[in-house]
């Protein structure tokens, strides 16, 4: 990745016809996405949408007692702020940066104006919304029926699909918050993967050494989400290959 990411490093923006890109790209603002930055809290009115390029954002549901669990991850295949597109303006989830990088920010009114043309952007966002709903549904099933070991594998694979390399900067405490489990469970699961030579973990840095083995150890949830995302967003799938 270059020092200054291009808007076309976001697959949704890259998939748009040139005439749509020419209308939207001049209105985009490149913004840094530091680890842990909260883009919006539950109930906030959304004024902007974000198109990640080399960052990953987690959508979390936060309980009244402060406990939280991740409901989906968004990276360079999508955008943050679907409530703007859907017309709801706010959402009960929190959006927090889980992997640092950059994103392009667009005013919500600009997105709405383009969507109201009923052109390619509208169709693309509808397909992306279906892919995101699939991920949310599968995450709920996974959290209920699969082990922490399998959940961690799924989470690592989904994250890798949204990054240009095999390295993640992530603490075990943050992973535990994402999965809605105790930190000790993540420590044990990560330790097993390290002993198997699948990952290398050191002071908040995770390097995936054996992706095929990681896919074998994951539950079927990752494959379901990836298959549906690739079907609905074929342009993103072709770039990843």
Q: What is the CATH number of domain 146-227?
A: 1.10.10.10
Q: Which stretch, 125-129, 228-232, 234-238, has highest mean pLDDT?
A: 125-129
Spell out the domain ranges in the chain.
7-142+231-240, 146-227
User: Any residues with CB less than 8 A from the CB of 150 and at least 6 apart, and which?
Assistant: 142, 217, 218, 219, 221
At 236 the pLDDT is: 61
At 95 the pLDDT is: 94
**What's the rounded mean pLDDT across residues 131-147?**
88
Taking the alpha carbons at both ends of the chain, their separation in whole angstroms is: 16
Enter the pTM of the model: 0.88
Place of tokens 């600009």: 110
Which homologous superfamily does the CATH classification assign to the domain defined by 7-142+231-240?
A: Jelly Rolls (2.60.120.10)
Q: Which of 203, 191, 139, 124 is nearest to 167 (CA)?
A: 203
At 167 the pLDDT is: 85
Residue 116 in tokens: 């109201």
Question: Beta partners for 6?
Answer: none
Each residue's pLDDT tens digit, 185-195: 878 888 889 99
Question: Beta partners for 56?
Answer: 99
Distance CA 240, CA 158 (A): 13
Rounded (5°) CA angle 171-177-179: 105
Place of tokens 């913004």: 31
H or E element: which one contains 101?
A: strand 101-107
**What's the rounded mean pLDDT across residues 196-208?**
87
Distance CA 182, CA 114 (A): 43
Asked whether the predicted pLDDT for residue 240 surpasses 60, the reply is no
Q: CB atoms < 10 A from the CB of 214, how many?
A: 21
Q: Which of 104, 111, 222 is nearest to 156 (CA)?
A: 222
Beta carbons of 142 and 219 less than 8 angstroms apart: yes
**What does 167-201 look like in DSSP terms, one character per residue?**
EEE--HHHHHHHHTS-HHHHHHHHHHHHHTTSEEE
Q: Which stretch, 19-23, 84-88, 143-147, has highest mean pLDDT?
A: 19-23
């Amino acid at each position: 990745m270059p020092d200054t990411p291009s808007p076309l490093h976001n697959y949704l923006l890259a998939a748009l016809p040139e005439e749509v890109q020419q209308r939207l790209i001049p209105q985009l603002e490149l913004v840094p996405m530091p680890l842990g930055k909260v883009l919006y809290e539950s109930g906030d009115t959304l004024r902007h949408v974000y198109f990640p390029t080399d960052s990953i954002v987690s959508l979390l549901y936060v309980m009244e007692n402060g406990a939280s669990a991740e409901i989906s991850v968004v990276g360079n295949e999508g955008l943050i702020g679907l409530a703007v597109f859907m017309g709801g303006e706010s959402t009960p989830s929190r959006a927090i940066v889980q992997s640092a990088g950059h994103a392009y920010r667009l005013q919500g009114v600009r997105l709405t104006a383009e969507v109201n043309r009923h052109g390619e952007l509208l169709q693309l966002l509808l397909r992306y919304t279906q892919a995101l709903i699939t991920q949310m549904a599968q995450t709920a099933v996974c959290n209920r029926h699969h082990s922490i070991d399998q959940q961690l594998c799924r989470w690592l694979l989904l994250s890798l699909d949204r990054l240009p390399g095999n390295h993640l900067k992530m603490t075990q405490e943050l992973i535990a918050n994402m999965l809605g489990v105790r930190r000790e469970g993540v420590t044990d699961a990560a330790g097993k993967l390290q002993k198997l030579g699948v990952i290398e973990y050191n002071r908040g840095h995770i390097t995936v050494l054996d992706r095929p083995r990681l896919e074998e150890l994951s539950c079927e949830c990752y494959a379901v989400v990836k298959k549906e995302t690739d079907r609905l967003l074929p342009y993103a799938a072709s770039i990843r290959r």
